[in-house]
Amino acid sequence: MPIRLRPHRLALLLVLVLCLPIAARADDASRRAKAAQLVELLHTERMLQQNSATIMKQVSDAADKAIGPNLTPQDKARLASFENKVSQLIDAQLDWKALGPAIIDIYAQTFTEPELDAIVAFYKTPAGIALLDKMPRINDQIEQLAHSRLVILQPQISQAFDDFRKSQAPPAPAAAPAPSASKPSASSPK
C-alpha cells in the first residue's frame, strides 16, 4: 500500500531534506574554521617555510659542491638559474598556498568540533602558549639526543649486518684428499 502524505507534510519533508545539506555544510565550515585557527596557533605555515628553506639550503649546498670552488660568471648564472627553478618547484609543492588547505582539511576531518574547541582553548592558555613556544627547542634537543644515539648505533648495526652476511655465506668446500698410489684399491687382489 503506497504511503500518502498530505501536501503540508510533503512540503515540510522537502524543506527538511533540502536543509540537511546546508546544515552539514555549515557544520563543516565551522569545523574547518576551527581547524584553521588551530593550524595558525601551531605556526604550521612557519614550519612549512622552515622545511622549504632547509630543503633549498641542502640543494644549494649540493649544487655548490657539484659546480666547484672557482665559479666563472657563467657558472654563477647557471647556479642562480638552477636555484631559482628548484625554489619554484619547492614552492609549488610545499608552500602554504599548496599545502595549507589540505592541512586544514586533515585537522577538520580528524577532530570533532568539540575536540577542536578544547584543543584551541588549550593552546590559548599560558601552558599551551608555553608549549608552543618551547617545542622547537625541545624538538632540537630530542633530535640531538637521537643523533648521538645513532652515532653509537650505526657501527653496531653495520657489525650485526656483516655478521649476518657471513652467516649466510655457504661454507667453503673441504679440500678432497689426493688419491694415494700406496693404498690398495678395492678391486685389486690381495
Q: How far apart are CA 63 and CA 60, in angstroms?
A: 5
Q: How far apart are CA 88 and CA 85, in angstroms?
A: 5
Q: How many CB atoms lie within 10 A of CB 38?
A: 21
Contact between 52 and 94 under an 8 Å Cβ cutoff? The reply is: yes
| Residue 125 phi, psi dihedral angles, 5° rounding | -80, 165
For residue 34, count CB atoms less than 10 angstroms from its CB and return exposed for 0-12, middle for 13-18, buried for 19 or more.
Answer: buried
Q: How far apart are CA 88 and CA 140, in angstroms?
A: 28
Q: How far apart are CA 105 and CA 91, in angstroms?
A: 20
Q: How far apart are CA 143 and CA 83, in angstroms?
A: 28
Mean pLDDT by 10 residues, the chain (190 residues): 55 55 66 95 92 93 88 90 94 92 96 96 96 92 94 94 86 66 52
Query: What does the pLDDT read at residue 70?
Result: 86
Which DSSP symbol is given to 181?
A: S
Note if the pTM is more than 0.75: no
Query: What does the pLDDT read at residue 22?
Result: 52
Q: How far apart are CA 161 and CA 167, in angstroms?
A: 10
Kindly give the interhelix angle for 44-67 and 73-94, rounded to the nearest 10 degrees. 150
Query: What does the pLDDT read at residue 23?
Result: 47
Q: How far apart are CA 63 and CA 82, in angstroms?
A: 9
Place of cell 588549550: 122
